[in-house]
């Protein structure tokens, strides 16, 4: 309902046809070309969309949006993967006016909303804004088997007036840290699909075939990969060599430390509309994160399972510094994760209250509609 109301403001939603139309299913999004990165990735390059689940927390708007586009799980404390919200005041591009736009621009954004609501993988969450449809915010969970595992990474997106002829603008919430060659301290995201790095053909943005969903999945699967050291242009040729692999291990150590610092930053400064997600995510992953830190301190290679026996070589000079630094940030994480327990309980209570209000509002709407009928 809310989503349709927003789109009606832009003259996009027509009256429903009395004849039922068959809708074409969206294909699974697979990212198979590593060269859309800055400049490459040594990972598999394929990102499989997995079955959705619905974590905790919800809002009134969310409930209405889900009724419009599909069902949601019963129960309290739902955090929908896609939702329409209002307050955009802390968005990086809040002060950027969308400028002169067209119906085609708004129609393209409507299509993006529908695709995101339908096909988001379970580890990516999106919020769009009722009063600024040119803005979007996404949270991406760091993939397992990488130095970014269990982290939360936030991105602000803007659709310029030239969209979809040109790609969206994307800003990474770095917290002043550069934990990946593609993600700068300034917030710049280096990706061929965004036209911020070289590329040819399908590696570049195409107005009729490229989507924001592809951008988000590419960041998760190709940027936040298991060997980000080789994303750097000058390091590509050293892949699968002894010196290159040694440097890659050292880079992953640094990347994990910075990922831990990013966790601390997110716990202390959760972006608007993602407070529930931050509290819920780190409540659920607390034990896993601290166990991983302990394993890495004991010598387990970053990104590998603590039980697979993969250890750093003896006399590894970089490990001593890494261990000392990780011990420091593990203690900080332990304290902040403990504080998060209280925050999580409060968020849960608030979400229950919100769901109860939504239920009452929904019942009132249905009674009103019945009365009018």
Determine whether 190 is an active site residue. yes
What residues have CB less than 8 Å from 237, skipping those under 6 apart?
none
> Distance between CA atoms of 138 and 3, rounded to whole angstroms?
18
Say if residues 123 and 52 touch (Cβ distance below 8 Å). no
* Count of CB atoms situated within 10 Å of the CB of 23: 8
Burial of 353 (0-12, 13-18, 19+ CB in 10 A): exposed
Say if residues 267 and 338 touch (Cβ distance below 8 Å). no
> Distance between CA atoms of 341 and 323, rounded to whole angstroms?
27
- Tokens for 130? 């009722």
Q: Pinpoint the alpha helices (H) of the chain.
A: 2-8, 60-69, 103-119, 212-218, 242-268, 275-297, 317-372
> Distance between CA atoms of 66 and 104, rounded to whole angstroms?
25
Q: Pinpoint the alpha helices (H) of 137-271.
A: 212-218, 242-268
Sheet of strand 82-85: strand arrangement: 82-85, 124-129, 135-141, 152-158, 169-172
SS3 244: helix
DSSP 193: G
CA dihedral 357, 363, 364, 367 (to 10 degrees): 180
> Distance between CA atoms of 295 and 303, rounded to whole angstroms?
10
> Distance between CA atoms of 293 and 279, rounded to whole angstroms?
20
SS3 85: strand
Catalytic residue among 11, 57, 166, 190: 190
What residues have CB less than 8 Å from 206, skipping those under 6 apart?
none
Q: Which residues are catalytic?
A: 190
């Amino acid at each position: 309902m809310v989503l349709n109301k927003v789109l009606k403001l832009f003259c996009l939603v027509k009256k429903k046809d009395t004849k039922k139309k068959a809708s074409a299913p969206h294909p699974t999004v697979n990212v198979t070309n590593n060269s859309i990165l800055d400049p490459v990735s040594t990972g598999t390059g394929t990102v499989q969309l997995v079955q959705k689940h619905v974590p905790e927390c919800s809002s009134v708007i969310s409930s209405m949006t889900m009724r419009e586009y599909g069902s949601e799980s019963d129960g309290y404390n739902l955090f929908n993967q896609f939702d329409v919200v209002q307050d955009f005041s802390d968005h990086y591009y809040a002060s950027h006016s969308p400028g002169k736009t067209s119906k085609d621009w708004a129609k393209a954004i409507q299509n993006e909303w529908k695709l995101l609501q339908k096909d988001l993988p379970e580890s990516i969450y999106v919020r769009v804004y009722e009063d600024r449809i040119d803005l979007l915010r996404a949270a991406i969970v760091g993939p397992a088997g990488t130095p970014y595992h269990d982290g939360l990474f936030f991105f602000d997106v803007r659709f310029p007036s030239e969209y979809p002829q040109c790609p969206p603008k994307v800003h990474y919430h770095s917290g002043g840290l550069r934990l990946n060659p593609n993600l700068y301290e300034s917030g710049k995201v280096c990706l061929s699909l965004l036209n911020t790095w070289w590329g040819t053909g399908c590696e570049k943005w195409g107005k009729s075939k490229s989507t924001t969903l592809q951008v988000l999945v590419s960041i998760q699967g190709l940027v936040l990969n298991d060997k980000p050291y080789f994303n750097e242009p000058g390091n590509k040729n050293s892949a699968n060599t002894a010196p290159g692999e040694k440097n890659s291990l050292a880079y992953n150590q640094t990347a994990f430390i910075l990922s831990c610092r990013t966790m601390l930053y997110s716990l202390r400064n959760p972006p608007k509309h993602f407070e529930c997600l931050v509290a819920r995510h780190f409540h659920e992953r607390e034990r896993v994160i601290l166990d991983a830190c302990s394993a890495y301190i004991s010598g387990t290679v970053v990104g590998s399972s603590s039980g697979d026996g993969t250890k750093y070589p003896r006399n590894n000079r970089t490990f001593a510094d890494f261990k000392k630094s990780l011990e420091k940030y593990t203690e900080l994480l332990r304290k902040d994760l403990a504080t998060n327990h209280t925050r999580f309980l409060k968020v849960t209570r608030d979400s229950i209250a919100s769901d109860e209000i939504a239920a009452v509002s929904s019942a009132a709407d249905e009674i009103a509609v019945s009365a009018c009928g």
